[in-house]
Amino acid sequence: MSPPDAVSVLEACYAVDLAEDARWLQGVVTALRGTIAGAGGIVSYLYASPRGEQLLPSTFVFDGNVGPANETMMRGLLTSLPAALLKKVLDVPFLRGRDVEFPGHNVVWAGLRLAGIADNLVFNGRDPSGYGCFAGVAVAHRPKVTKRQAQMFAQLAAHMASGYRLRRRLRTADNATDNATEAIVTPQGLVTHAESPAQAKTARQALAHAAKSLERARGKLRRDDPERAVDEWRGLIAARWTLIEQFESDGKRFLVAKRNDPPIASIESLTPRELQAVGFASLGHANKLIAYEMGISASTVGVLLGRAAKRIGVRTRHELIQAYLRVQK
């Protein structure tokens, strides 16, 4: 199963100019359909999940042979999921539905097979803010998903979360600072304008590198190596910015850097980056995915988590996450 154009999903995720969440989500769903051979009905929704203890869905999009008449049923089902099953779904950015064990698992899937559904590919873009974007794609035949493809699908889910977070941030911005463009970069990587903190040399270098990577992703890699193309296009840059494409009146294209780091519960002794790394770790994400989500290296993630644990006097990753979750509550 080789996705023909996974980059289209990323472009849809950052279509922040669309006013309505339903239109934005429909764009993401349409792009997802194009990445999965044999995709059938798709159920997608936005949600809030305070502390991961409950799932509160909002905007629904039904695509293919799934109709809006299912919304009431879906809302009831989602808001009453048992805690153990909810955790299995929320803590994984990508999974195959058949792999999730629950009471009556075999009976449910036997019925779905009769309806022509052999599996359900689940994309769950969730960030430490407690908000997320979910899409379940029904398929008629159980696909063989390679390790590399599974990694790419998890990365697509990360961008779903990042795009939804940016939309919320821009929509709720109550002053010019919240909605500010902190840098302008050409597709070739030239930083033509930078506000603090984008003025630092390391920040300008990170933005320039990200712009070039984004262009590579949208070039030949888009068709020839979609997994590498998605890997090139990170969710954040230097744990702070997302690059958004804009056009001038003469048609000239450029990229603007918008602040898009997730709001994180505060632990006084930790730095913002340490908090962000711990926040993503609390979602069950591995260091490699956290690095992708933050736009930093996996080794840096390890350093941040280790330093955070030392600062608050715990020894294990589990203890660190539990300390963070207690602050969340």
| Residue with tokens 């019925």, as numbered in its chain | 111
pLDDT value of residue 174: 59
Q: Among candidates 77, 146, 143, which has minimal Cα distance to 108?
A: 77
Q: What is the pLDDT of residue 204?
A: 97
Q: Which mean pLDDT values do the consecutive 10-residue runs of the chain (329 residues) have? A: 77 91 95 88 90 84 72 79 78 87 74 80 92 92 89 96 94 66 95 94 97 95 95 95 89 93 86 95 95 96 96 94 84
Q: What is the pLDDT of residue 116?
A: 79
Distance CA 94, CA 87 (A): 13
Q: Across-strand partners of 132?
A: 47, 126
The two three-digit tokens of residue 318, written as one number = 């589990």
Residue 227 phi, psi (nearest 5): -65, -45
pLDDT (0 to 100) of residue 1: 44
Q: In what order do the strands lie in the sheet with 191-194?
A: 191-194, 181-185, 253-259, 241-247
Identify whether the C-beta of residue 57 lies closer than 8 Å to the C-beta of residue 78: yes
pTM across the whole model: 0.92
Residue 218, CA atoms < 13 Å, CB-side half-sphere? 15
Walk me through the domains of the chain, giving residue ranges and CATH numbers. Answer: 7-170 (3.30.450.80), 173-259 (no CATH), 272-328 (1.10.10.10)
Residue 69 is predicted with a pLDDT of 61
**Which amino acid is located at 271 in the chain?**
T
Non-local CB neighbours of 12 within 8 Å, separated by 6+ positions: 24, 27, 28, 30, 31, 163
